[in-house]
Structure 1
Amino acid sequence: MRVGLIGFGKTGRAVASVLLDSELTQLQWVMRQSHVLEHRSVAEFLGVKSDEPALILSKAEFTAANLLDQKPVDVIIDFSGDSGLSYYGEAAAKRGITIISAVSQYEPETKERLKALASQTVVMHSPNITLGINFLMISAKILKNIAPYTDIEIIEEHFKLKPEVSGTAKVIAKQLDLDESQIKTIRAGGIIGTHEILFGFPYQTVRLKHESISREAFGNGIVFAVEQLQGKSKGFYSMEDLLLPFFRLTDEDSDTSQKSKKPWWRFWAN
């Protein structure tokens, strides 16, 4: 699958390295706001070996329509910010290009604009696209349905200088119908990100915990999403939509069973 990446910050760079290494994806270009690094090879900049043509481009050089006509892709992956969608959204949807947005926070009107594009193409949005976090949230919702009487606490840990409460923790709280005041925050050292959901039963405790080891975990989730969205009808999807079929413990869905055996994790298995 030919992919283009919007955004090249710390997370975007980690994702780019995963996309370059994946057999499923072919990174065609990276688009960023700044002219810095313009026309540099992504692989060269990251110090990895790759035959893919990926170049670093700036928005001032191309309109989205010109970019997508001259350097076509099948999927656009967005790790930019709230304003990124206004650059490429309409042009991508008009051409039937799949949109995968991993922007953590959108203004309400931008989120509605993203959903509206789903009438023209396949659109997926996930504020945290790591497989582990999304598995954790689904598992937590299932456990809450089983035992709605339990005490539930959310604990999030991040690096010392992170000022705000984790956006992912807020999403977890919303998914579990909990007030954000129930989020416990720890700031220490260089912790990349840890989220824990504690279920307090009368005679036992269950802890669901996810720890980010490196930002390449976001690339892991992107490759999974790219694979699972292939062949989907146009519409708006979440990571939960893609993961729920895998919660079946039987092989009722042979297509899902076969897909789960494909080596989308290959980039860290070598």
Structure 2
Amino acid sequence: MKIGLIGFGKTGKSVASILLENEKFSLEWVLRQSKVLENRSVSEFFGVESDKPGLIYSSSKTSIEELLDKHPVDVIIDFSSDNGIYTYGEIAAQKNVKIISAISHYKEKELKFLEKLSKKTTVFWSPNITLGVNYLLFAAKFLKKIAPWVDIEVNEEHFKTKQGTSGTAVKIAEALDVDRENINSVRAGGIVGKHEVIFGFPFQTVRLIHESISREAFGNGVIFVAENLKGKDKGLYNFEDILTPYFTV
């Protein structure tokens, strides 16, 4: 499967390293805003040998249309910014390229744009694309269904410079009918990401915890999603759509 990666920040780099290691995927190119590293290969950047192209391009010099014409891909993976979807969405949809967006925060405008694109191609969005945290969300929803009266608290911890409330925590809170104002946030040091759901019963407590040890976890999540989007018709998908069949006994 040929992959194009949008964004090459800390998480984007980690995802690229995982894609390079997987023989089922070919990282064709990376598109970023900065001109730094332009025309260098991702494998060269990591200092590893690879036969995958993985050249780095700057959006200030190369348009997404030009890039897709010269180096077509099956899937575009977006780890850029909340408005990055506008730079490639329409062109990707026209060319029937699948879109996997892992942007934490989208406003209503962007979500409607994703819906529009999904009329033409397969679109997937998750504010947290790690498999573990989405399993946590599934388990939490099941427990809430069993005991809808239980007390629930949502905690999230991230690195000191992370802005705003975790998009994943917001999604968990919404799924469990917890007010967004009741999400407890901690910003300290270099914590990659930790989410905890506390279920307070009268005589017992259940805690569901997911902790990202390394950003490579996002790369594993991307691979899981890409493999499960094979054969999917055009439409807008989320992790629940992908995980539900696995919970069928």
* TM value normalised by structure 1: 0.89
CA gap 1:188/1:81 in 2 versus in 1, 3 angstroms: closer
Cα distance between partner residues in 1 of 2:106 and 2:244: 24
- Alignment pair present for 1:47 and 2:43: no
One-letter identity of the residue aligned with 1:244: T
Find the aligned partners of 2:83 and 2:111 in 1 and give their Cα distance: 11
Structure 2 counterpart of 1:94: 94
Q: The residue matched to 1:198 in structure 2 has which SS?
A: strand
Counterpart in 1 of 2:235? 235
- Structure 2 vs 1, CA of residues 63 and 14 (structure 1 numbering), >3 Å: closer, same or farther? same
CA apart distance, 1:187: 3.3
Partners of 2:104 and 2:166 within 8 A in 1? no
1:163, CA displacement in angstroms? 5.0
Q: Is the 8 A contact 1:42 1:56 kept in 2?
A: yes
Which residue in 1 is equivalent to 2:202? Answer: 202
Q: How does 1:47-126 map to 2 (within 5 A)?
A: 47-126=47-126
Please say if residues 165 and 185 of structure 1, whose CA atoms lie closer than 8 Å, have aligned partners that are also in contact: yes
Looking at structure 2, the residues matched to 3 and 163 of structure 1 have their Cα atoms a distance apart, in angstroms, of 29
- Equivalent residue, structure 2, for 1:256: none
Q: How many Å separate the matches in 1 of 2:210 and 2:152?
A: 16
C-alpha contact (below 8 Å) 1:152/1:199 kept by paired residues = yes
Asked whether the 8 Å contact 1:159–1:190 carries over to 2, the reply is yes
Deviation at 1:47, TM superposition (A): 2.2
- Match status 1:185 vs 2:185: yes
Quote how far apart the aligned CAs of 1:161 are: 4.2
Number of equivalences: 249
**Which residue identity lines up with residue 57 of structure 2 in the other structure?**
L
Equivalent residue, structure 1, for 2:157: 157
Tell me the distance in 2 between the aligned counterparts of 1:111 and 1:161. 25
Report whether the alignment pairs 1:130 with 2:103.
Answer: no
Runs of 4 or more, structure 1, over 3 Å off, are 160-164
Q: Amino acid of the residue matched to residue 46 of structure 2? A: L
C-alpha distance in 2 between matches for 1:202 and 1:106: 37
SS in 2 for 1:82: coil
Spell out, residue by residue over 1:162-202, the C-alpha distance to the aligned partner (whole angstroms, 9 max, x if none).
45332221221112111122212233332221111011112
Secondary structure (helix, strand or coil) at the match of 1:236 reads strand
Extract unaligned runs of 5+ from structure 2: none
Q: More deviation in 188-197 or 12-21? A: 188-197
1:86: Cα distance to partner? 1.3
Task: Note if contact 2:98-2:123 (Cα within 8 Å) is conserved in structure 1.
Answer: yes
Partners of 1:193 and 1:211 within 8 A in 2: yes
Say if 1:30 and 1:54, in contact at 8 Å, map to a contact too.
Answer: yes
- The amino acid that maps onto 1:211 is E
AA aligned to 1:178 is V
- Note the aligned Cα RMSD (angstroms): 1.3
Which moves more between the two structures, 176-185 or 3-12?
A: 176-185
Match of 1:214 in 2: 214
Conserved? CA contact 1:24–1:223, under 8 Å? no
Aligned equivalents of 1:146 and 1:43: distance in 2? Answer: 49
**Structure 2 counterpart of 1:31, one-letter code:** L
Paired letter, 2:103: V
**CA distance change for structure 1 residues 80 and 162 in 2, over 3 Å: closer, same or farther?**
closer
Q: Name which of structure 1's ranges 217-226 and 197-206 shifts more when overlaid on structure 2.
A: 197-206
Q: Aligned to 1:96, what secondary structure does the other structure show?
A: coil
| Deviations 1:11-63 (CA, angstroms, capped at 9, x unpaired) | 00000000111122100000001111100110111222211011000112222
Asked if the contact 1:41/1:56 (under 8 Å) is kept, the reply is yes
For 1:248-259, list aligned pairs within 5 A.
Answer: 248=248, 250=249
Does the 8 Å CA contact 1:24/1:227 hold for their aligned counterparts? Answer: no
Residue aligning to 2:15: 15
